Chain A
Amino acid sequence: MHRRVVITGLGVIAPNGIGKEQFWDACVSGRSGVRRITRFDASSLPVQIAGEVPNFDPVALGVTEKESVYLDRATHFSIASANMALEDAGLLDKLSEEERERTGVYMGSAMAGIDELEQAWLKLTDSGNHPPREAKEQATLIITRMMTHTYATMVAVHHQLYGPCVSLATACAAGGDAIGEAFRAIQEGYVDRVLAGGADSAISAVGINVFAILGALSTRNEEPERASRPYDALRDGFVMAEGAAILLLEERELALARNARIYAEIIGFSSNINAHHMTAPPPDGAPLQRLLQQVLRQAGVKHEELDYINSHGSSTPPNEVAETSAYKALFGERASRIPISSTKSLIGHAQGASSAIEAVATALTLEHQVIHPTINQEQPDPRCDLDYVPNVARHATVNVALTHSSGFGGVNGALVLARPEWVDTHM
């Protein structure tokens, strides 16, 4: 008999809002967080737009002075999001030592350390003028600023959590994967609570160029807010973004016993890999179709009970074609009656954080019974003809929602969330 897992706290740092209220308000209002890049001089790059998080003050969000100096930006995002999630759940500084032995941190990231590695390399080689060597007056290089596991580890250090720390780097599906693995760990009794999510901040010359050189990024530099346009006929690539989100996952009995506010119950998680190509999905979307079928079956959800899909929707020509094929193949006629929206239309693609931010958006959808729009829907792509909730938010009855993500390497992951009231009447 598996234990059940619920979401009791949310923390999010996104290009269009810091904290769940600001973020959700911006999403529902259709406000984009994509702007011209300010974090470095991007004038020599073909891409000059990104979803940056403006006005991020780590110390104001509970990061210590020392942490703000020694740790990198994405780790600040991680600690701040964890603070928000614990606060939101009413558990900030409230867990006993024994409870903290049974609390873990699971984080996903795709690009951790790229920015820092770039800075280190430039310093050690004098911008490529000689092989790496120790500079005479260099500051101590901090290797942990280049390591992915720093995010989860520092959240654990900040909150003195003694349970497992797991970091996953399944590319752009990483955050969702971390949430899914955390779900399993609680189900199977290894932990009782997990701060689970993702973080990434790789808006740097190398971070942008590795994707620009692939032709994967939008070059709509003159109109940043209109660049991320999943499903639209004029989409020309994704928009790089940064951010983080952490959800507090809790064993259901413990949550009920302390009268916690429950956003949703996690009722299914599944993942697979395409075995096709390192960047492009197969156009028929078959692996995604199989994944969605699998996860819905696992969750015990019939097709007609699925009320909303928060899609990967990255705004690349191949991705949305594959998604649409998968939805139609799986749901048949019903596909055109399931509302689908893409958070990436509002904030761009925050890499490993994206699937975690999207899980937060999905949880907020269940709480508010409002579906945020896919913005920038101006010219329909004939190959993408489903209901993507274009441009305007919508009130709706949403009891069961699915969020899915895909990443380089061909990885796919999907999470199913349901309102507690619905689960109670359907178990």
Chain B
Amino acid sequence: MVQQAGRRVVITGLGVVAPNGIGTPAFWEATANGISGIDHIQRFSTDDLPIKVGGAVSDFVATNYIERKLVNRTARSTQFTLAATQEAVQDARLALEEQDMEQVGAVIGCALGGNGYVMQQMQAMFTRGTRAMSAYTAIAALQIANAGQVSIRHNVQGYSKTAIHDVVGGLDALGLAYRAIRRGEAEVIIAGGCDEPIEPTVLIAMAHSDQCALGDDPDMYRPFDRRARGTVLAEGAGICILEDYEHARRRGARMYGEIVGYSQTNDAHGMTVPSACGKHYARAIKLALQEGQIGPQELAYFSADGRALPSSDAGEAEALRLAFGSELERLPVSVPRTCIGHAYSAAGPLDMITALLALQHHTIPPTINCEQLDPTYGLNLVRDQARPTHGSAVLLGGRATGGSNVVLAIKKVGE
């Protein structure tokens, strides 16, 4: 297999809107301490819904970040994106006005689009007539709204995409952005993901999909636990500033870490939850380790997909066994996402932000709610409390409904 040596890609800025913290410092503080943002949903009545809890961002005030006019033209997930982007750009100390904006892009994953906005407008249309629909519906609903609004707001003119891939769209977005900078197609890319699954129609549909745990227990998201019965959904956004290493070095940017691998394989097993077979996922893990030239002993931890369904958890455990063999015993595995729920396309970027901070702070954030870890998985799961680490790399795994396995590899920036 021929692969290009290319430019190095580093991360120089982080932005977060998450159920357990708005802003990176608050998010890290909560996540490192296992503080959950999953709670009873307040924004609408859940009396007639099969799912009553979720990771909601309950204290988000859009007008803190964008003007009222734009609030009226954007969906919630896009507002999250704009807020997180603002934080990330500032965090990177990136003076955009000094950049060649044709070399700056935006690649943002989003699975469900602005579905909340659409459903409000469907209410208007079907009860008051077709002319009652807001003229902004198309631009608010389409997933391109995220890259589009970021581009308009920050004058971004380069390589820009919207990746859609169930729960791994955010990882795909980061991967596409990584490859684009690597081949020289951009110098800086605002990359990440957002989603707004906490909507009544979505919750009902998800409840029927056998992916989500039903009921009202905020602690029910517990991957690899004997009682695991699915994920709990969350909303939010995670944005990273990806940058060409030389470009970052020249401007004295602080580098959180480096992306060194991105791989994707497919189980092709059908349009259902991740497979109990770990063979293709193991292949993706090995490809990412190879591309990143990472030895297992360098890994601080493996950030798992943690789908919390017995068959999917078994598949993930099998993949880890196939990929790591006897090294698996010593390899810490964690699903810090248990603190916020599964934020769909935001999940991968939030996992990556968590991992970058974990490397910086020499701390593996814990998986919560796993009091009854099933020992047959053979996993060294970091539970309840953070664990210190000297590792210098992290692998992030994600598996989509339908069979895709995506792995992203990150490292501390070498001297």
Contacts and interface: CB of A to CB of B under 8 A. Distances in A.
Interface string B133-172: 1110111011111011101101111111111111001001
A213 B130 contact: yes
A190 interface: yes
Contacts of A109: 164
B166 A149 contact: yes
A274 B4 contact: no
Nearest to B157: A275
Nearest to A127: B126
B209 A144 contact: yes
A236 interface: no
A271 B122 contact: no
Contacts of A190: 1, 3
B156 A273 contact: yes
B26 interface: no
Among B127, B205, B401, max chain A CB count under 10 A is at B205
B266 A156 contact: yes
A44 B128 CA distance: 12
B48 interface: yes
Contact of B403 (A46, A157, A279): A157
B265 A272 contact: no
A287 B152 CA distance: 13
Nearest to A105: B266
B409 to A, nearest CB: 14
Contacts of A162: 265-268, 280
A271 B126 CA distance: 38
A104 to B, nearest CB: 8
Contacts of B267: 162
Among A71, A170, A214, max chain B CB count under 10 A is at A170
Interface string A248-285: 00000000000000000000000111111111000000
B176 interface: yes
B119 interface: yes
Interface of B: 1-4, 44-45, 48-50, 101-102, 105-106, 110-113, 115, 118-119, 121-123, 125-127, 129-131, 133-135, 137-139, 141-145, 147-149, 151-152, 154-166, 169, 172, 176, 179, 183, 200-202, 204-206, 208-209, 264-271, 280, 283, 400-404
Interface of A: 1-3, 44-46, 70-71, 101, 104, 109-114, 117-118, 120-122, 124-125, 127-128, 131-134, 140-144, 146-150, 153-154, 156-157, 159-171, 177, 181, 184, 188-190, 205-206, 209-214, 271-279, 287, 290, 407-411
9 contacts: A101-B283, A141-B205, A143-B202, A150-B271, A157-B270, A169-B163, A213-B137, A272-B160, A409-B147
